[in-house]
Chain A
Amino acid sequence: MIDRIEQLRSEAEGEIGAAATSEELEQLRVRFLGRKAELPQLLRGVAQLDPAERGKVGAAANAARQALEALIEERTAQLAAAELSAGLVHDAVDVTLPGAPAQPLGSLHVLTSTRRELEDIFLGLGFTVMEGPEIETVHYNFDALNHSPTHPARARTDTFYVQRSGEGPEVVLRTHTSPMQVRAMEAHPPPLYVVIPGRVYRPDSDATHTPQFHQIEGLAVDEDITLADLKGTLLSFARAVFGETRDVRLRPHFFPFTEPSVEVDVSCFHCSGKGFMADGSRCPLCKGEGWLEVLGAGEVDPNVFAFVPTTAANAPGYDPEKVQGFAWGLGVERIAMLKHGVPDLRMYFENDLRLLGQF
């Protein structure tokens, strides 16, 4: 009996060791350890043996069964690991194919991303963002900004007028964001630090002019805000937008609502302000000047303060003898054009996805 058990065990061990698949193993398990197999039969028959034999045969058969079970388990794990490895190799993909399904992001329009960038710079400098109406009265667009009644900007050739039905104030499409200067001062007492982004309109259309465009107005009013403060503020702005080594220069100019008035140039970032390129050719961006005109600005004209009525909302009001400050108006398209090299302003409003997707 014992010999037979050892024989079975040895036979089974040999075959289990040689099994190549989990299916074969399962067949071997049934053959050697299944209900009808010889070894379990032997175990079940142990009771009929005489007591002297019973213990030895039972122990040998049990040991053989346990050893075979362990062997099958071990061998099963080995085969599973091998089969998994083989399967993984088989499952290999072409990692150079594009991701799928695609998860494309969209894009902000370059005018929006530029405007936000500028807003964020001025937010960091302590300015609050305000907005106002695009369709505006002549009072706020011209009169309160110290434009003489005959100022050429009021002409039908320079300003869009809104058709009026009946009486009421003359209304225009605002030609700049500046009307919000007076509106902001009417609503808030000094000190006041605001930037006003928005869309503005002038009847002009070519590669560098579109009848609608976008500006960001700046206004800072307190008791002691100087032209030097304007220079410092715009220097911070210029460096944030165009690079840490940029410089600004203020050139005297004329605007009805600032005095002194200046135009502000930023040193050219394309040629580092030299006006010419490394190969000696003229810088195509600044046309050899070394400077790029970016905006108009100045100290708020006292006449503009005088146009601000004192009310409960803005008390103590804006007495030109007691407050002073600066204002600027910059063009978002111009900044975006300079920064990204968009050649024609009209492309901004064509909304071709080949442009939109670039920024």
Chain B
Amino acid sequence: MRVPLPWLYEYCDPGLDVHAIEERLTMTGTKVEAILRQGVEHTEGFVVGRVISAEQHPDADRLKVCEVDVGARDGAHATIVCGAPNVAGGQTVAVATPGAVLPNGIELDRRKLRGIVSEGMILAEDELDLVAGAERAPGIIVLDELMLDAELAPGAPLAEVLPIATDVLELEITPNRPDCLGVYGVARELHAATGAPLSEPPWVADPGAEGALGAAEVIVECPDLCPRFTARVFEDVAIGPSPLWLRARLAAAGQRSISNVVDITNYAMLLTGQPLHAFDLDRVAGAKLVVRRAGAGERVQTLDGQTRTLDDEMVVIDDDDGPTSIAGVMGGARSEVGSDTTRVLMEVATWSGPNIHRTSWALGLRSEASSRFEKQLQPEQCMHAQAVAARLMVELCGATLLPGTIDVGGAPAEREVIRLRQARVGALLGLPIERERQAEILRALDFTARDAADGLDVGVPPLRRSDVTREVDLIEEIARIEGLEQLPATLPARRGAAGRLSHAQRVRRAAEDALVGRGLHEIVGWSFTEPSLLDRLQVPAGHPLREVVAIENPMSDGQSIMRPTLIGSLLDAARHNVARNGPDVAIFESGTVYRAGGEEGLAREHHGLGALLHGHLGARTWGGQEGAEAGFFAAKALLESLLGHLGVRFTVEREEWPFLHPGRSAAVHADAQLLGLLGELHPLVSEQWDLDRAAVFAIDLGKVAAAAPEVRAFVPFGSFPPLRQDLAVTLPDAVPAAQLTATVREAGGPELEDVRIFDLYTGEQVGEGRRSLALTLTFRAIERTLTDEDVAPRRKRIVDALAAIGGELRG
């Protein structure tokens, strides 16, 4: 909301500079977002001038050469060439002299116009940024036609006569404070924040009166949605432009000028916070307004020329010819005030905030009025706005106010009273505040405060009744005005507090760190993905990955489901980087994945860890060394390091996944639990992302954490040297390496410390359908040095066991 400072000062002027006001308002809860300037930056060079003479320019039909008294000490007149048709001798005008800087940033200079040097400029309204260009009165400003109070001596500073340099506060009003959507409400805040006196409210002097009003009739059929409806009638209204001061003030507050009557409704709204609506009473059929719920499907044409379809939760205002406006949101075109209007019905009503909110969102129609009503204005505000508008209608439009006011609903008579326990204030804030001071702050904010046994009985001002309903709300009022700067900075007692990470959280960090240590970069992908991801991953119908969580109102189709796997975001990041930064990409992601069908209507979420390798792990160096090529075993080696680091015992078995190379695809298990998958991407999937050979793994970190020991127990080891023996064996292709090592381990007994495969050979020498594997066996005993003779029986058992699975010793 924009508040021009001079307007604010009419009600509360603390005599502080604008930055001090900014600081006080901001620190008491009315945040000043910006300080704007309406008009010129510097007022130097802008003066009052008197046109002595205005003669036709000898060489230009549309220009006049004026002699202007600008109050020069030597009495010399300035020669000014002026293009305005209304300039004439004898006028008092606004003049910019050379050196003055106009709002558009142009510095004025002496300038030749068709051969005559012009020593300045006679100004129009828009050249001073008093109003927007489209709303300017034609021609130059003629000051003596404005009926200003100020002395109009030539040479007098123009800023003393016109608001040519107005500071405007741009305020952030929090949604709980609709009372601050009016200048007077902000003035009250400034009063409480600074202690400067607050003038009487502008609605105290009301030219109108209560009582019956026969010129129109109002019926409210839905008082639940319309707690109060007031109306007054004005006759002999002369529609025309508003005076410059009003147009300038509205411009500074960010409002366009329309006509005097509409401007008055806007002015009253900006001052009181309460929207008003002016009907042309002669266009209200039957001079009767009926407030009712709309019928489902009912159509209304609004002021903006659009036809809107309503539902039965929305409220319309009818006259005898049907709906004229959507209540609280937008008026109808039919009864709009126009240039020929002479009788005005001024409507000021209170609507149900939630209902207006719903209507405005449902119609996609937000107006200045609806954005105010939806925050729940109070019935008392109706008469505030009526009083301000009535005074201006009489003053500015020459209108006659008919006696009486239609008032359906009225306002509650009593204030809510809340007990404020004095001790609670200090106990909640950590800063004790005297009861006297508490009462003083509350009274400045228009609360009443009466001494009670343990504190104060506080009466809530009507305009705050939605926001302040409990003791704690009063404590907030006191805290913000007393100043949160006063609070000491203390730490809580932290009884029983012991900051720690859970086992699962520590496992997650360790897993991430392990991959970073192996050269992988962590990415953070989008939780959102597109439904076609699953097609591109070749996931068949009915596959568990198809059980996705779908978003009802996504920002785009590309972000319309929640990812059921990390593979998609890894692929996206890989494509991005391969295209920009070259083929070597080693990345991982540690994040949540989602499947539909959790408990209580929620999703099944788990924290996954996925990695993708493409190109080589590490760039080629000058020595000719190159990192491992991204393939199944590079990914598996990473997974082995990772799970080994976490102490997880796991197995890897062939298993196909739709998006993996069918021959290079595996499931990772710990005991019976499936931890995740490992493999090379299916070439067709890689192609979808413009990638070459790539390998991935993806595991469920929650299950990994469950399988990882929280504490590792010491395993004793002896001081005797190991005995190493190599063994080469040929086996049928169908026997997996894991079976070979498991067989060897089992047969090798407790002294077989390690089995390592160090060579793999296939070819003619071992024959079709077989392969040769070479093993290093490491034997070690705790209590003695082993000899070849000691392990010979074990070696024999190993050879026998291998024979049982089709193994033959080589050479």
Q: Are B601 and A171 touching (Cβ within 8 A)?
A: yes
5 A–B contacts from the bound complex (CB under 8 Å): A100-B621, A134-B605, A162-B552, A225-B493, A262-B484
Q: Are A251 and B484 touching (Cβ within 8 A)?
A: yes
We find that the number of chain A residues with CB closer than 8 angstroms to chain B is 93
**CB within 8 Å: A-B pair count:** 284
Encode contact with A along B494-527: 1 for CB under 8 Å, 0 otherwise: 1111111110010001001101111111111111
Q: Are B472 and A301 touching (Cβ within 8 A)?
A: yes
Complex Cα distance, B174 from A263, in Å, reads: 12
Taking a contact as CB atoms closer than 8 A, the residue among A107, A128, A131, A259 that contacts B516 in the complex is: A107
A105-B517, A126-B499, A193-B497 known; A228-B618 Cβ under 8 A: no
If A156-B553, A231-B487, A351-B525 are given as contacts, then 10 extra A-B residue pairs at C-beta distance below 8 Å, sorted by A number, are A108-B513, A135-B598, A149-B354, A150-B353, A163-B549, A163-B550, A193-B494, A226-B428, A232-B490, A252-B27
Interface of chain A residues 16 through 49 with chain B (CB within 8 A): none
Is B491 an interface residue, CB under 8 A from the partner?
A: yes
Q: Are B476 and A259 touching (Cβ within 8 A)?
A: yes
Q: Are B586 and A102 touching (Cβ within 8 A)?
A: no
CB distance from A327 to the nearest CB of B (A): 12
CB distance from A353 to the nearest CB of B (A): 5
Complex Cα distance, B596 from A163, in Å, reads: 10
Q: Are A155 and B491 touching (Cβ within 8 A)?
A: no
Q: Which residue of A lies closest to B520 (CB)?
A: A106
Is A319 an interface residue, CB under 8 A from the partner?
A: no
Interface of chain B residues 611 through 629 with chain A (CB within 8 A): 618-619, 621-623, 625-627
Interface residues in chain B, defined as those with a beta carbon under 8 Å from any beta carbon in chain A: 26-29, 31, 174-177, 353-354, 357-358, 361, 374, 427-431, 470, 472-473, 475-476, 479-480, 484-485, 487-502, 505, 509, 512-513, 515-528, 549-555, 559, 562, 572-573, 576-577, 580-581, 585-588, 590-592, 594, 596, 598, 600-603, 605, 618-619, 621-623, 625-627
Q: Provide the residues of chain A in CB contact with B555, threshold 8 Å.
A: 203, 205, 211
Q: Are B512 and A150 touching (Cβ within 8 A)?
A: no
Q: Are A222 and B174 touching (Cβ within 8 A)?
A: no
Is A62 an interface residue, CB under 8 A from the partner?
A: no
Q: Provide the residues of chain B in CB contact with A97, threshold 8 Å.
A: 622
Q: Provide the residues of chain B in CB contact with A324, threshold 8 Å.
A: 427-428
A100-B621, A134-B527, A228-B429 known; A222-B495 Cβ under 8 A: yes
Interface residues in chain A, defined as those with a beta carbon under 8 Å from any beta carbon in chain B: 97-98, 100-109, 111-112, 116, 119, 122-129, 131, 133-137, 148-150, 152, 155-157, 160-165, 168-169, 171, 173, 191, 193, 199, 201, 203, 205, 211-212, 220, 222, 224-229, 231-233, 235-236, 248-254, 259-263, 299, 301-302, 324, 348-354, 356-357
Q: Provide the residues of chain B in CB contact with A249, threshold 8 Å.
A: 27, 484-485
A102-B619, A155-B361 known; A226-B552 Cβ under 8 A: no
Q: Are A134 and B28 touching (Cβ within 8 A)?
A: no
The 10 closest A-B pairs by CB, nearest first: A228-B430, A226-B430, A252-B29, A126-B497, A254-B174, A252-B480, A150-B354, A168-B601, A123-B499, A101-B625
Q: Are B487 and A133 touching (Cβ within 8 A)?
A: no
Complex Cα distance, B528 from A157, in Å, reads: 17
Q: Are B499 and A351 touching (Cβ within 8 A)?
A: no
Complex Cα distance, B603 from A162, in Å, reads: 10
Q: Are B553 and A231 touching (Cβ within 8 A)?
A: no
Taking a contact as CB atoms closer than 8 A, the residue among B177, B554, B592 that contacts A254 in the complex is: B177
Q: Which residue of A lies closest to B356 (CB)?
A: A150
Q: Are A191 and B26 touching (Cβ within 8 A)?
A: no
Complex Cα distance, B31 from A252, in Å, reads: 9
Q: Provide the residues of chain B in CB contact with A173, threshold 8 Å.
A: 527, 551, 562
Q: Are A106 and B627 touching (Cβ within 8 A)?
A: no
Complex Cα distance, B476 from A261, in Å, reads: 8
CB distance from B454 to the nearest CB of A (A): 14
